[in-house]
Structure 1
Amino acid sequence: MEKWLRSLKTKTPQEGFELAITLAQKGVQYTQPSEKIRKKLRPKYARNARSLISASQVVAINFQTIAAANHYWEKNDDDLSQFLF
């Protein structure tokens, strides 16, 4: 596999969230390197609520790690509203 992850540092929370998704996707690729098998399995888990929740949990954990690496985007320490959905 290519070396693609240079840093967990991002300029914004949005970029951090997108990196979290990329990390989750890359994790799946490392776990199951066969694209053919991944495509075959995708319809099954795409309709499974537990699988989707699990995928969301992985993204959330990745985002938590990235946010910490970025010191929660220090510029707005007093304004935590940016982290509320």
Structure 2
Amino acid sequence: MSWLPTLITDTPEQGYEIAIKMSRMAVKMTQPDDAARSKMRQDYSNNAESLIMSSHVVATNFQTVAQANDFWRR
């Protein structure tokens, strides 16, 4: 089964959860080494700029999901 079978959701909240999942999977696919990700987590989790950038990625992915859902059928 695919980790992302669809972008279609019933609610914006479900869409936001997919956007977060998409963002997390991008990091995992970019850096597949669990130990390396764990080591770096300490750095970015305490860096305001890194956290803001990650929020931007989630927002971009949420925009994609919202468009796929015709902005929840207006």
User: Which bracket does the TM-score occupy, shorter chain normalised?
Assistant: over 0.9
More helix by share: 2
How far apart, CA to CA, are the structure 1 residues paired with 2:34 and 2:2?
A: 19
RMSD value over aligned CA atoms?
1.0
> For residue 43 of structure 2, what is the aligned residue in structure 1?
44
> For residue 35 of structure 1, what is the aligned residue in structure 2?
34
TM-score, scaled relative to structure 2 = 0.96
Q: How many matched pairs?
A: 74
Gaps of 5+ in 1: 78-85
TM-score, scaled relative to structure 1 = 0.84
Gaps of 5+ in 2: none
Q: RCO (CA 8 Å, sep 6+): is it higher in 1 or 2?
A: 2
- Give the 3-state SS of the residue equivalent to 1:8 in structure 2: coil
> For residue 57 of structure 1, what is the aligned residue in structure 2?
56
Does residue 17 of the first structure (1) align with residue 16 of the second (2)?
yes
Percent of aligned pairs sharing the same letter: 47
